[in-house]
Structure 1
Amino acid sequence: MAKFVVTPANEAQRDAWMDRTVPAVERVRPGLWSIPVPIPINPLRYVLVYALELPDGVAIIDAGWNTDEAYDGLVAGLRVAGYEITDVKGVLVTHIHPDHYGLAGRIREVSGAWIALHPKDAALVHERYDDSAIDQLVEKERRLLVKAGVPALTLDELAGASMMIRHMVSMAKPDRLVEDGERLGLPGWDLRAVWTPGHSPGHLCFVSESRRLLFSGDHVLAKITPIVAVHPQSGPNPLADYLDSLAAVRKFDVEEVLPAHEYRFLELAERVDYVMAHHDERLAEVERAAQGLSCWDIATRLTWSRPWETIPPFMRRSANGETLAHLVWLEAKGRVRRQAGEPDLWFADVR
């Protein structure tokens, strides 16, 4: 597949990503600021929090992880824009992963801001982040990994791999549930929510038709593609959801895409087309590998950004979940079949 490179909206921001540094706080345009908030011990390095100026303060899109470093980075960034953390009136969370949702509760404690989520993600908060429920979620993950064929020696390690980042979230139930197509009612902004499930069941993007902007969260990024995986809290066919969601945002006539990671860019439709083509190629690769193997064994045979042996356990679990998402999509299309067992085996010789 021919490489397609998006045009950065700000070359300095792109250069910071490529140089593995952190970009500057930036006034994107009147009334809108981009604030990089550090993500500790993570190759993404930062989440881009967007501050939208209101008559009485700011609303922010996403928040960052719940660490002192992230909190201090957000406070400092808001001050560059001329605001204090107490000026935050609302936190629009694109989805409940820790680097987007983690600081929301702490911000609300300090400022009284409301927190908004899509209902599909709001329904997952208790099981994912409440100490009383987490053991059940880990057991569900363990059962899924058994069916996928994960070796017994690494099963427990992979089942609990996400426990190391749970403390990066300040448990906070949302004050507001935002549905697909809902107008946010922020003074001075014609922001509308777009439900884009796939990366998470309740992922939201936000579009402003008048300013021709799309705040894309993790749904559409400049260089990498988001993890779309089968796991205990995913939908039954998350890749189908994701591809449908890509088609849903492709139609927007925007001049700039503002993602949560990497850097802002210009070509929405072309980037969407490229990501869709990438998944077409990946589906074909998975289909070729489905020769009576488990999901885990198929995953070890696929092309990844680094050799399988060097991928850490948490990312191996994600790779297994992504492989399963492609297998489930292929199964729904009749291109592979599943032989149920422990593990399930997958065959591309469908007749």
Structure 2
Amino acid sequence: MSVLDPANTPAAPAVTAEGEAFPSAPRRLHYIDVPAPEPGQSVPIAAGVRWARIPLPLDLNHINVWLIETGDGCIVVDTGMAASIGKDAWENIEREYLSRQPLRGVFVTHIHPDHIGLAKWLQERFGVPVFTSRRTDELALSMWSGRAKAAFNESEQFFRSHGMTDEVQIRAMFRPERFARLTSGMPHVEQFVADEDVLHWGAGEWTALETDGHAEGHLCLSNPALRLLISGDQVLPTISSNISFMFGNGDPNPLGSYLSSLQRLRALAEDTLVLPAHGVPFRGLRHRIDDLTGHHLEQLDKLAALCAEPKLVMDVLPFMFRRELKDLHLFLAIGEALAHLEYLVHAGRVRRELVAGRVTYVAL
């Protein structure tokens, strides 16, 4: 396959729920010269792997899903969100491809609704197993259980402590039924996939790599023989994935986890073809990781300087995000800023203080 002329590579998208628009400079990434498939269609992208797109009812209007041939059918990686446009696309894929290569399983990279949203629907429609990490399953179960109500109440206290006072907006964003509406229900996970598990699908071997930061339990899939990486949301070509510290976090330092995971992925072969959840497949993994890492290090230095005087997280948002923040983007920005501030706490550069019920951060 040829590569696109770097001068004509896809432009950076608008800011999305996945994160900030942050493209690499021209010529650092080489995009595959294969037109993106239309919704409900699939195209070959590598030996034994097909690329399909499921539309999303969001500002980020698609998710890439990957159909891995198994000999007697295929495994799909990720699913799309529970929306009629997503189901329509899958029904087209069923007619166009799955009628010849039956679906044999669903692999979910992580908990976010555009990835897990149609897992149960596909499982029931095709009678196939679902594979994901144990942590992803735990998080999904918490969304569909009584624990969601407790987390809902916890969210109000969390955001109030960080200086946000609009309780109506908090309740609207974190009500338990919101997640349920974006998904088709709780899939039954028949196999938990752990870090470095090797999955034998057809003639190929795929190694699962747990890469936390963007989401706990996030799994990438690496095929060293084919030099392929299905990267989920961990490495995207034109977006800096959202890294959030939120209420209920099991990971006290998600940005630290994310940066560590990037260095782990950087050890893969230099000519690895990256198959991302959003955007266009590309080569240049190490360059992309260096760009993402540098971006976060710059943000950390900026925040450390800002915290010469005690700051609430709401105080630092205008310096990190030079645009209007509202609705979901506001909450993701708060989570992103907190992830950076908590990283600085763990690095011994900033101290966290609780003053009159408010959490502030001050440089040491």
Q: Does the 8 Å contact 1:145/1:159 carry over to 2?
A: no
State the 1:344 CA deviation: 0.8
After superposition, where does 1:1-351 map in structure 2 within 5 Å?
3-5=24-26, 6-10=29-33, 12-13=35-36, 25-40=42-57, 42-80=58-96, 82-84=97-99, 87-130=102-145, 132-150=146-164, 152=165, 154-163=166-175, 164-170=178-184, 171-234=186-249, 235-253=251-269, 254-290=271-307, 291-299=309-317, 301-304=318-321, 307-308=323-324, 311-341=325-355, 342-348=357-363, 350=364
Output the CA distance in 1 between the equivalents of 2:32 and 2:135: 32
Give aligned pairs, total.
Answer: 334
Gapped regions of structure 1 (runs ≥ 5): none
Output the CA distance in 1 between the equivalents of 2:311 and 2:159: 14
Q: Relative to structure 1, is the Cα distance of residues 173 and 141 closer, same or farther in structure 2, using a 3 angstrom cutoff?
A: farther
Output the CA distance in 2 between the equivalents of 1:86 and 1:142: 48
Output the CA distance in 1 between the equivalents of 2:79 and 2:190: 15
Output the CA distance in 2 between the equivalents of 1:101 and 1:275: 25
Output the CA distance in 1 between the equivalents of 2:101 and 2:150: 37
Q: Relative to structure 1, is the Cα distance of residues 162 and 9 closer, same or farther in structure 2, using a 3 angstrom cutoff?
A: farther
Q: CA RMSD in A?
A: 2.2
State the 1:39 CA deviation: 0.7
SS at match of 2:198: coil
SS at match of 2:54: strand
- Kindly provide the CA deviation profile for residues 259-304 of structure 1, in whole angstroms up to 9, marking residues without a partner as x: 01011110001100110000001111222222212112212x2232
- Kindly provide the CA deviation profile for residues 86-137 of structure 1, in whole angstroms up to 9, marking residues without a partner as x: 921111110010000010001111111111111122111122233x332111
Output the CA distance in 2 between the equivalents of 1:86 and 1:114: 16
State the 1:160 CA deviation: 3.9
Q: Does the 8 Å contact 2:68/2:75 carry over to 1?
A: yes
State the 1:251 CA deviation: 0.4
Q: Relative to structure 1, is the Cα distance of residues 58 and 242 closer, same or farther in structure 2, using a 3 angstrom cutoff?
A: same
The TM-score normalised by the length of structure 1 is 0.89
Output the CA distance in 2 between the equivalents of 1:277 and 1:267: 16
> Percent identity between the aligned chains?
27
Higher mean displacement: 86-95 or 199-208: 86-95
Partner of 2:9: none
**Structure with the higher fraction of residues in strand conformation:** 2
Q: Relative to structure 1, is the Cα distance of residues 162 and 89 closer, same or farther in structure 2, using a 3 angstrom cutoff?
A: farther
Q: Relative to structure 1, is the Cα distance of residues 206 and 121 closer, same or farther in structure 2, using a 3 angstrom cutoff?
A: same
Q: Does the 8 Å contact 1:138/1:160 carry over to 2?
A: no
Q: Look up the equivalent residue of 1:288 and give its one-letter code.
A: A
SS at match of 1:292: coil
Q: Does the 8 Å contact 1:214/1:257 carry over to 2?
A: yes
State the 1:4 CA deviation: 2.5
